[in-house]
Amino acid sequence: MADSPFLIVGGGIAGLSAGLGLARIGKSAHVLEKAPHFEEVGAGLQLGPNAVRALQYLGAWDAVAPHCVSPAEIQVRDGLSGNILQRIRLGAEFENRFGAPYRVAHRADLLNGLLESARSRPGIELQNNAEVADISITDTALTLKSGGTHAGQAIIAADGVHSMIRSRLMGQPPGNPIGHMLHRGLAPITSIPASVNVDAVTLWLCPGGHVVHYAVSNWRHFNIVAAVEHPEISLWTAFQGACQSLADILEQKIKWTKWPALDLAPAPIWSKNCTVLVGDAAHATLPYLAQGAAMALEDACVLSNTIQRTNELESAFRNFAESRFKRTGAIQKRSRQLGRIYHVAGVLRQARNAVLNATPKRSFTKQMSWIYDWQPEGK
């Protein structure tokens, strides 16, 4: 079976990244995607320096970079008063500090860049309409809904937060207690009113919810995501006290889509025999640190390095999980904490704002260094 490919279940960001990581170390991969096309749902995402470095390591950055937007800064603002509470400048000083830039992109642009890179690599086979119906962890084999079967030297489960393979490995995960609802919208950048700074990644903090927006797709579109703490409350009811600039954003005549905000309780075991979980299948997180895609990209780098260092795959997969568990668990925990901090009201809101205002900008940026300083090994 040593000559058989690695079977990757899922052709999203995690799956294609895993394939590129394997190609980098001379391993063949067969990516099975259940949809008829490789495509990403959702809207924008943020690519911090750690994500950019991962893409560079995987050989996909050149395909992704032309479609990204380079914002001037990140702004944190109070959604009721409109006051700027904190900001991070994203220019040359930021890039010099962290060794890579900060970019924002549409999810489809990231996926297309990964897909273009995967198609150019020998040893990566891509298959659509390949929904997995059953898995044999003992035999390292997959049965497709169409009736076909595949056997490989390993199975990499990149099948997302609702992973079928995860449930086979460790049973159904505990129910998600968060309950937040994400309202996502995409507007033409030409429709955004002058009251809105389109050159910034802006985070608006409101009682019971928050809003993030920024330009994507090389300045063609404007991505808006509103998180509402109580899912039964409408978007406009949740933010009815918003300042004028934020209200201008929420009143855009666009199609809003609703997605429950999901994460998974950290599970220390991500592998069994020669099957391993990656990306959201292993450590889905709330999007409040903007690190979901980045963690999948990092996974691909670490997994390929671990396989290259260890001849025996079962040991490699255990080592991979051990090396990633602490970091991804910290991302999950901090994202939950930020959800609570972002949404406080009354005296707690005033205290939060006072702390943000009093924090020196250099110190505020430094608080993100544990995320942004990550480096792939073997670069």
- Please give the pLDDT value at position 311: 76
| Residue of 340, 332, 329, 327 whose CA lies nearest to 371 | 327
The stretch 212-221 carries a mean pLDDT of: 95
Mean pLDDT (the chain) is: 93
Instruction: Look at residue 224 and tell me whether its pLDDT is greater than 90.
Output: yes
Which pLDDT belongs to residue 333?
94
**Helix-helix angle 292-309:313-342, to 10 degrees:** 160
pLDDT at 351: 98
Q: Taking residues 92-115, what's their average pLDDT? A: 95
* Token pair belonging to 295: 């963690």
Position 353 pLDDT exceeds 70? yes
pLDDT in tens, 18-27: 999 999 999 9
Encode pLDDT of 316-332 as tens digits: 999 999 999 999 999 99
Give residue 264's pLDDT band: very low, low, confident or very high (50, 70, 90).
confident
pLDDT of 379 > 80? The answer is: no
For 171-209, write each residue's pLDDT tens digit. Answer: 765 555 567 899 999 999 999 999 899 999 999 999 999
CA–CA separation, 186 vs 104, rounded Å?
14
pLDDT bucket at 346, cuts 50 / 70 / 90: very high
Average pLDDT over residues 238-266: 90
The structure tokens listed for 53 are 């470095």
Q: What is the pLDDT of residue 339?
A: 93
- Whole-angstrom distance between the N-terminal and C-terminal Cα of the chain? 29
Confidence band of 269 (pLDDT split at 50, 70, 90): confident
pTM: 0.95
**CATH superfamily, region 6-67+104-174+263-340:** FAD/NAD(P)-binding domain (3.50.50.60)
User: What is the C-alpha to C-alpha distance for residues 132 and 34, in angstroms, rounded to an integer?
Assistant: 7
**Residue 253 confidence class, pLDDT cut points 50, 70, 90:** confident
Separation of alpha carbons 62 and 74, rounded Å: 24
Q: Taking the domains of the chain in order of start, what are their residue ranges?
A: 6-67+104-174+263-340
